[in-house]
Amino acid sequence: MMAMSKTMPERSEPGDIEALLPWYAAGTLDARDSRRVAEALDRDPELARQYAVILEEYAATIELNESLGAPSSRTMHKLFAAIDAEPAQAAAGGPGLGARFAGFFAGLSPKALAWTASAAALALLLQAGLIGAMLAWHRPGEVQTASYQPQQDAAPAPPSGAATRERTAESARPAAPMVMAERSGGPVVRSLAPQTGPRALVKFVPDARAAEISALLDRYDAVVTESSRGGVFRLQFGNRALSKQAQDDLIGRLQKEPIISVVLSAP
């Protein structure tokens, strides 16, 4: 009984090894299982014959796949071997700014490093002194804001006697009348002129336009000296007196104007 128990593991071992033969043929076992299968093949000729059959079937499968256009396992093995043979690529990014600074200072000698530190400290002191001087120069108490201070208007000096006489003479002169033409929309200022030329009372047609009235006044060298609510205007023609015949001719020409409805000689 004890002898049978000792021989059972030996009989059951080939079954486990047989299950590993296809993986061994494909080369996908780890080192431990590959060593076990190799030792079993050396000990058991029957297991070696089974492995030979498995290799033939495996080779036939590879040939069939290659004839169908599928990649072979040898191609995959070559690809993996080429990938493993490539050297590891360096990191994509270069060293950072801090690493470069550290490398720069690491390459300096102790004496150069001491001089560099002294120069940096001196620059910091100069910068601090400059900032302090600027703050002391711009003190808040010395800042003045611009303000407006209205000045009192000086009292006008009394006019001299000559200036007073000139103003009195100017005020005594008769002012020239303001000439304007009135319509329903309001007065239209024309000019200032002395009352020396012949005058006439004129009434324009209701549909007369301001541009037409202005053109007529320019044509006859006339200005409006007075107007009434009824639409009658007193016009003055020129600055020179005319004879009785010339005034009648002027009235006759005005009566022929299409924008004038009534025209009469005025004193």
Rg (CA), the chain: 63
Query: Helix (H, G, I), strand (E, B), or coil: what is residue 188?
Result: strand
- Mean pLDDT, consecutive 10-residue stretches, the chain (267 aa), reads 40 70 86 91 90 86 72 68 68 61 72 81 86 74 52 53 53 45 44 68 90 92 82 86 87 91 83
Q: What is the pLDDT of residue 147?
A: 53
Q: How far apart are alpha carbons 168 and 164 in whole angstroms?
A: 6
Q: What is the pLDDT of residue 11?
A: 41
Q: How far apart are alpha carbons 181 and 231 in whole angstroms?
A: 10
Q: What is the pLDDT of residue 39?
A: 92
Domain 177-266 has CATH 1.10.150: no
Q: Look at residues 25, 15, 5 and name the one whose alpha carbon lies nearest to residue 46.
A: 15
| pLDDT tens track for 83-108 | 877 765 544 455 667 777 677 767 67
Q: How far apart are alpha carbons 178 and 197 in whole angstroms?
A: 15
For 61, phi then psi, to 5°, come to -65, -40
- Would you kindly state where each structural domain of the chain is located, as residue ranges? 8-78, 177-266
Q: What is the pLDDT of residue 8?
A: 37
| Under 8 Å between Cβ of 179 and 224 | yes
Q: What is the pLDDT of residue 149?
A: 55
